[in-house]
């Protein structure tokens, strides 16, 4: 037996307060993290924090406090949701103890705090911050306000454009482009295409970021075809639960590609050279560290602005390999399930443009560590966002239907 419970309509400002808290915290978090990607924040090297680093670190912790306040302010107490969150919390805790990497805890906090926040607002905040930092860095590096380091890499002249690494600007723009396509529901104009193509060519000319260039060009061309197709991917509805398998298939392919690398094989040798040695590095890391259930603490050594190494270069760029080695099988499974869920929901909601965006991100992550990196790729946060709007609509209407709990 159902009973009708009358609830006095709440003030609209109070209802929006949790979302405002999240967006404020997320904006601060994104600004701090993107700022850390710049040459200005780099300081004197990986072992020396600059004043900017200290500022961004404090800003991040301030953002975490706001996210916690938002989470408790929202008062989401559905039993099924709590059970789900507690299960994730156990996996995240295991990954933290295994890898000693606090980022998994902070990402967990960001995702659960995004529970009732509109997806488009999250991405708008991200685009705003990423775009401002990108423009300031690129323009500043070209007029002499920010140092533009230049790296000669086997005949390739690569500009840093005010960032701490050559590919950062190009990859950041790729994700800005993908988020903007989401906001525009896949329907860019021809003029937006032309502007985007001009920016893409500029980044390729200055940084020689080959894969980011190819994926960016593909993205523009693909969505030009997308808007010309009257059906716009409706055939994707033919698949249902199978969408959960897609991230796992990509992950298995990527991991096996590295695990099966054989320098004696001519095909593997050429592919490894094309991928700037990524396959050999992935195979070496897999052999050296192995795979664990909850991850391990690995000291990754890579190049930076100063072109110095603190040890033997061992950095792995493949997202799937890096998550597996850093955080273990359990957390990799959770990340892949999250992307599978986003794919599934995008098809159920007929947001086919999001389906294609996530597929592009999955492919790009084979050679770049951005699948589980909110600073570049905030699409991961969408797994929990926008899920409570119906409940708030019931409250605004002044009526809540509840079952007989006696």
DSSP string, 313-345: ------HHHHHHHHHHHHHHHHHHHHHHHHHHH
Give the pLDDT confidence score for residue 17 in this predicted structure: 77
Give the pLDDT confidence score for residue 289 in this predicted structure: 94
* Average pLDDT estimate for 341-368: 95
The counts of H helices and E strands in the chain are: 15, 4
Cα–Cα distances in Å, from 172 out to 56, 134, 175, 201, 382? 19, 8, 5, 14, 18
Give the pLDDT confidence score for residue 390 in this predicted structure: 41
Give the pLDDT confidence score for residue 5 in this predicted structure: 46
pTM for the whole structure: 0.88
Alpha helices in 114-264 (DSSP H): 119-142, 168-183, 190-207, 210-228, 246-259
pLDDT band at residue 75 under the 50/70/90 scheme: low
Q: What percent of the chain has pLDDT over 70?
A: 85
* Average pLDDT estimate for 239-250: 94
pLDDT digits (tens, 9 = 90+) for 34-64: 999 998 887 554 445 678 888 999 999 999 9
pLDDT digits (tens, 9 = 90+) for 171-185: 999 999 999 999 999
Nearest-angstrom CA–CA distance, 122 and 135: 20
Decide: 98 and 370 in contact? Cβ < 8 Å: no
Nearest-angstrom CA–CA distance, 296 and 292: 7
* Average pLDDT estimate for 191-215: 96
DSSP 201-217: HHHHHHH--HHHHHHHH
Give the pLDDT confidence score for residue 42 in this predicted structure: 72
Mean pLDDT estimate for the chain: 86
Nearest-angstrom CA–CA distance, 301 and 316: 9
Cα–Cα distances in Å, from 117 out to 38, 265, 322? 29, 50, 29
Cα–Cα distances in Å, from 328 out to 92, 95, 97, 292, 325? 10, 7, 11, 5, 6
pLDDT digits (tens, 9 = 90+) for 131-156: 999 999 999 999 989 988 888 877 77
pLDDT reading at 339 higher than 70: yes
Give the pLDDT confidence score for residue 73 in this predicted structure: 74
């Amino acid at each position: 037996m159902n009973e009708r419970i009358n609830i006095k309509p709440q003030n609209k400002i109070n209802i929006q307060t949790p979302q405002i808290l999240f967006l404020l915290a997320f904006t601060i978090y994104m600004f701090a993290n993107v700022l850390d990607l710049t040459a200005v924040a780099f300081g004197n090297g990986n072992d020396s924090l600059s004043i900017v680093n200290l500022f961004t670190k404090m800003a991040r912790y301030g953002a975490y406090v706001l996210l916690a306040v938002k989470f408790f302010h929202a008062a989401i107490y559905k039993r099924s949701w709590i059970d789900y969150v507690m299960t994730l919390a156990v996996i995240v805790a295991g990954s933290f103890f295994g890898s000693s990497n606090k980022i998994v805890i902070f990402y967990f906090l960001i995702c659960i705090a995004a529970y009732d926040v509109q997806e488009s607002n999250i991405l708008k905040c991200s685009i705003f911050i990423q775009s401002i930092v990108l423009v300031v860095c690129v323009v500043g590096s070209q007029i002499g306000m920010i140092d533009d380091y230049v790296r000669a890499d086997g005949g390739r002249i690569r500009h840093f454009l005010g960032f701490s690494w050559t590919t950062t600007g190009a990859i950041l723009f790729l994700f800005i482009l993908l988020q903007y396509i989401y906001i525009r529901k896949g329907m860019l104009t021809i003029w937006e295409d032309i502007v985007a193509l001009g920016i893409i060519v500029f980044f390729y000319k200055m940084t020689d970021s080959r894969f980011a260039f190819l994926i960016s060009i593909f993205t523009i061309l693909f969505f030009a075809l997308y808007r010309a197709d009257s059906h716009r991917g409706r055939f994707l509805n033919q698949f249902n639960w199978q969408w959960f398998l897609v991230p796992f298939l990509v992950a298995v392919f990527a991991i096996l590609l590295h695990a099966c690398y054989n320098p004696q094989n001519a095909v593997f040798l050429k592919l490894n050279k094309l991928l700037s040695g990524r396959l050999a590095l992935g195979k070496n890391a897999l052999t050296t560290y192995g795979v664990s259930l909850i991850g391990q603490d690995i000291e990754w050594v890579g190049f930076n602005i100063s072109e110095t190494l603190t040890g033997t270069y061992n950095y792995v760029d493949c997202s799937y390999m890096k998550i597996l080695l850093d955080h273990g099988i359990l957390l990799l499974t959770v990340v892949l399930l999250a992307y599978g869920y986003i794919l599934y929901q995008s098809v159920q909601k007929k947001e086919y443009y999001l389906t294609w965006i996530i597929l592009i991100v999955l492919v790009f992550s084979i050679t770049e560590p951005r699948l589980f990196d909110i600073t570049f790729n905030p699409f991961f946060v969408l797994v929990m966002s926008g899920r409570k709007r119906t409940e708030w609509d019931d409250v605004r209407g002044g009526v809540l239907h509840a079952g007989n709990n006696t």
